[in-house]
A and B are shown apart, each in its own frame.
Chain A
Amino acid sequence: MPYLGSEDVVKELKKALCNPHIQADRLRYRSVIQRVIRHMTQGVDMSGVFMEMVKASATVDIVQKKLVYLYMCTYAPLKPDLALLAINTLCKDCSDPNPMVRGLALRSMCSLRMPGVQEYIQQPILNGLRDKASYVRRVAVLGCAKMHNLHGDSEVDGALVNELYSLLRDQDPIVVVNCLRSLEEILKQEGGVVINKPIAHHLLNRMSKLDQWGQAEVLNFLLRYQPRSEEELFDILNLLDSFLKSSSPGVVMGATKLFLILARKFPHVQTDVLMQVKGPLLAACSSESRELCFAALCHVRQILRSLPGHFSGHYKKFFCSYSEPHYIKLQKVEVLCELVNDENVQQVLEELRGYCTDVSADFAQAAVFAIGGIARTYTDQCVQILTELLGLRQEHITTAVVQTFRDLVWLCPQCTEAVCQALPGCEENIQDSEGKQALIWLLGVHGKRIPNAPYVLEDFIENVKSETFPAVKMELLTAVQRLFLSRPAECQDMLGRLLHYCIEEEKDMAVRDRGLFYYRLLLAGINEVKQILCSPKSDPSLRLLEDQAERPVNSWALDFNTLVPVYGKARWATISKCQGVEHHGPELPNTTAFPTSGPLIPEENKERVQELPDSGALMLIPNHQLTAECFEKTWLSLKVAHQQAFPWQGAVHPDNLQMALQVVNIQTIAMSRAGTKPWKAYLSAQDDTGRLFLTELLLEPANVQMQISVKQSEAGTETLKSFISVLETVIGTLGDIKS
């Protein structure tokens, strides 16, 4: 790598490029240029020979031209003044008789990425749009988008947009698709290219002429079109039928999504389509390309959420083979978990049992957890398998099994007896924090039925000094306290020792406080302790229902064939949000300037909020009332207009928040109780024109951000912005007080 001596290289090449003998010899000249390009791709700064390279572009040799263009596009932003010299040559090439040269020159010119180039490229692009060679038209159409980006997204050239719309009727299919792509970028601010009935039908008719990429993208654009009548809808669906059988998975998925969206009012059509793509999806799941497999598996999981039995007949397709990469195996195990029914449960469990001894500890644990998931329905069989797994005496397996047991006992209390019998002996094979916590919890709650429970806990207490995880100590305190209530004689002594250690010697504050708390609780009397520690538990069925309820297809149809099934909605929202801030940062009012301490809504702040309606266009009406049902209906029918995350520290105090929102005339429809995880709230407000603002607040447990999603009954960017700034003020104030 000539990184170090790069100056010499530049000098040498410069000399060679200037040498008239070399210039006269086409081959030698080209090979010198190739050397320049090679150095450039290796990251050597070759901008020093810019002048010489520009000269080299005046040639009839098309390869040499290409190479020089490539060079110019790379270094033009670094040497804008010199690059302007190159533009002359490029302009001349744009009217070359050879269409290939015209196309290349135009493309390079549009890719120069330097300020001030717009004025030079406008005319060549306009000429290119009317060129007789489709190759040039393709380049010119995309060039329009590049030119627009150079302008800094400011104004939209109406004439150009019209020209592009008319080029949608071009003969060449790629020109058509490029027009869509280009318009989409130019009209980004206005919501992208508009697909009306004539355009939609024109595109549908051209579909079969497009290449696979074009088909996939047009299918995506067609999502915007809403057929007028049922008849038209079914005509469109008929036209699209054959794309469900395309050899390109991308097109199949695109077509499926379009079907799902267009037929959103016809659930039987949706089910039918999902039946039809079962084959292609399964084929993609066993495709040679592991990345395709992975993406397809993510979509299979999504479909299963609505149609649980959908792939049950093909459960064997989801058996893992040894050589597959990790991420595929993990997805397959998840899918298997959801496919289980009375007929295949035996085979699936046997298969999963096999995975539990996999070399990779992560995968083995995933398999154990999967068995735990199935155990919610097929408890006895699963508990038996899990118990057998304990016999392997492997650390990573035992800890996973014990954690599954803890969850199971809570969800399916009927298996408590079996679990209690399996537990003795486990403690020898558990080293990690999660496993220890689970075991200690089980011993505490069900210690009555485990004969050696006190002795196991005693061992933990003996070694408490060397215990590194505070969470384990906390769990231990609670467990010993609980066990003390059911087996006082065996536990009294060690409880005393543990409390003594926690209060006198422990350095972790939380553990110490917990110790003190239990100590004081004991002082209050044994009955009080019982009342607090053994009061009825929360209803376990609640979480379970929430998790497993079937989701209607429409709830995810919009996310189908996007990155959401791969990464989850919340994650994607955060990322797009970050980009939003990057691009439109200055537009949102900056609220960090508000005072951050003192009373809940400081006086000056209140005034600020009240003032807002006068300055902006937004006036939220007081005493606006919306019933929960009404809210739900509206919420489901609307699209999210804005998503954003605000910094938030610590827990939420719902009462304070509600009060603060009341002040700015935002009504609280529903709110989780304090401490619930994840914490959610639904808010509603109405402005003086009758426009509704519906908002969801979401605080994920591990997050330090409050995620908000706002929906509007009528679109309006200005009012939305003002509404969000109001919301941001409230949340910003409260969030900062906590920190």
Chain B
Amino acid sequence: MIHSLFLINCSGDIFLEKHWKSVVSQSVCDYFFEAQEKAADVENVPPVISTPHHYLISIYRDKLFFVSVIQTEVPPLFVIEFLHRVADTFQDYFGECSEAAIKDNVVIVYELLEEMLDNGFPLATESNILKELIKPPTILRSVVNSITGSSNVGDTLPTGQLSNIPWRRAGVKYTNNEAYFDVVEEIDAIIDKSGSTVFAEIQGVIDACIKLSGMPDLSLSFMNPRLLDDVSFHPCIRFKRWESERVLSFIPPDGNFRLISYRVSSQNLVAIPVYVKHSISFKENSSCGRFDITIGPKQNMGKTIEGITVTVHMPKVVLNMNLTPTQGSYTFDPVTKVLTWDVGKITPQKLPSLKGLVNLQSGAPKPEENPSLNIQFKIQQLAISGLKVNRLDMYGEKYKPFKGVKYITKAGKFQVRT
């Protein structure tokens, strides 16, 4: 299925390759470089490239390209998903998925790739099973290893491989039994010039961190399960229970995993927590323009909005910007023309604003379109859709676990047009 994998950095160096079947020459990547050149921007390289003898399916993550070589007809989503899983695993093991991290841990990377794929087919990809096969490097462990000479490879096979439930290993034991759930919602929205919503949608996930001994059987119920439009489940969830009772019933994997992901898309349910007042204008035949934006809270359910960042791609004719923020700090990169304003949090008494002058290239025609503002923010202790966990029950084990639910709302692709 997957013949070979090449890791390529932004400047076009192939810094790692792995072949699961016969060796495919590096020259196959020339087709990829060709496409990269054509695309001008690294972000725009198409994910599927055909060459006379192969297909190249690639993903772009953290400034790295994972390019896989395919020789037979395959489901493209399958391969893309798998490549993301590889990148996720690196992230998980090394804390970041960067060229430096991969080069530093090249031996572990090879070990991982060897276990994740055999003869081109995905094998072990679950993080908790992999970690038993190959222990992740930590500073502490590498020190200990160098003293005691012990290895970072498990000497035994993962016990999970023998349990009846493929996603959970047998004989798990914890002294503190804990189950945590993070309800994370991201708002994707497009707001038009006049402040009305063009499109808004909530993408939510519930991530779980379960450290429970034995074989616990959990059921999680919600105050308002009907909110969830469209849900995808972790394989552990009993689908029929959800269909009939709207309860999530499952034997959890051990450790961190994504329990469900869902969407709320009916527009009247999607609250927009911030508003932006803006006036950006460029004068005809003059070398300057005005820039003035103010951010304020809207439907924020009484919670503080924090971690606000505004990013604006200014038009090419903008040379520089002289702005004054009432709070936070701003930077403008005259090369990429990107303005970033790190706002912090909103205090309703004094709304943050950023205003000042824009210097334009003299003689150039004024830009036809005003730039869009991309906004990032975070609200703690709130799921903007109103989703609430009602209760968590555990069956099958006797002890009392410690339970916790955290809510957080973030901006996804939140864009304000001006």
Contact = CB atoms under 8 A, between A and B. Distances in A.
Interface of A: 26-27, 34, 37-38, 41, 61-63, 66-67, 70, 98-100, 107, 113, 133-135, 138-139, 142, 145-146, 149, 172-174, 177-178, 181-182, 208-213, 215-217, 220, 241-242, 245-250, 252-254, 279-280, 282-284, 286, 289-292, 294-296, 314, 316-317, 319, 321-323, 325-327, 347, 351, 354, 357, 359, 392, 394, 561-563, 566-567, 571-572, 575-576, 578-579, 582
A314 B149 contact: no
Given A133-B157, A213-B125, A290-B47, A142 B119 contact: yes
A319 B48 contact: no
A575 B125 CA distance: 31
A253 to B, nearest CB: 5
A563 B73 contact: yes
A290 B83 CA distance: 13
A463 B262 CA distance: 62
Given A316-B190, A317-B199, A354-B369, 9 more contacts: A62-B155, A134-B162, A138-B123, A172-B161, A174-B123, A215-B235, A245-B232, A317-B201, A319-B198
B374 A67 contact: no
B226 interface: no
Contacts of B198: 316, 319, 347, 351
Contacts of B50: 567, 571-572, 575
B74 A213 contact: no
Interface of B: 1, 16, 21-23, 39, 41, 43-44, 46-48, 50, 52-53, 55, 57-60, 71, 73-78, 80-84, 106-107, 110-111, 114, 118-119, 121-123, 125-126, 133, 146, 149, 151-157, 161-162, 166-167, 188, 190, 198-199, 201, 203, 229-235, 239-240, 258, 260-261, 263, 265, 313, 315-316, 368-369, 372, 374, 413, 415, 417
Contacts of B146: 27
Given A319-B199, A325-B43, A563-B73, A280 B230 contact: yes
A322 B74 contact: no
What are the 6 closest A-B residue pairs judged by CB atoms, nearest first? A279-B230, A242-B239, A213-B122, A316-B199, A291-B47, A247-B232
Given A314-B265, A567-B48, A211 B125 contact: yes
B188 A286 contact: yes
A321 B415 contact: yes
Contacts of A211: 122, 125-126, 166-167, 235
Contacts of B316: 359
B315 to A, nearest CB: 8
A326 B153 contact: no
A181 B125 contact: no
B72 to A, nearest CB: 9
Nearest to B313: A322
B230 to A, nearest CB: 3
Given A66-B111, A211-B166, A295-B77, A247 B47 contact: no
Nearest to A397: B368
A566 B413 contact: no
B157 A254 contact: no
Contacts of B119: 142, 145-146, 181-182
Contact of A582 (B53, B167, B369, B413): B53
Contacts of B265: 282, 314, 317
A208 B152 CA distance: 33
Contacts of B75: 216, 220, 250, 253-254, 561-562
A291 B59 contact: yes
For B1, B23, B166, B260, the residue with the greatest tally of chain A CB atoms inside 10 Å of its CB is B166
A575 B52 contact: yes
B149 A26 contact: yes
A737 to B, nearest CB: 27
B374 A245 contact: no
A107 B118 contact: yes
Contacts of B201: 286, 317
A283 B230 contact: yes
A289 B80 contact: yes
Contacts of A212: 81, 235
Contacts of B167: 211
Contact of A563 (B1, B21, B48, B118): B48
Contacts of B261: 247, 283
Contacts of A62: 151, 153, 155
Given A249-B81, A322-B313, A37 B107 contact: yes
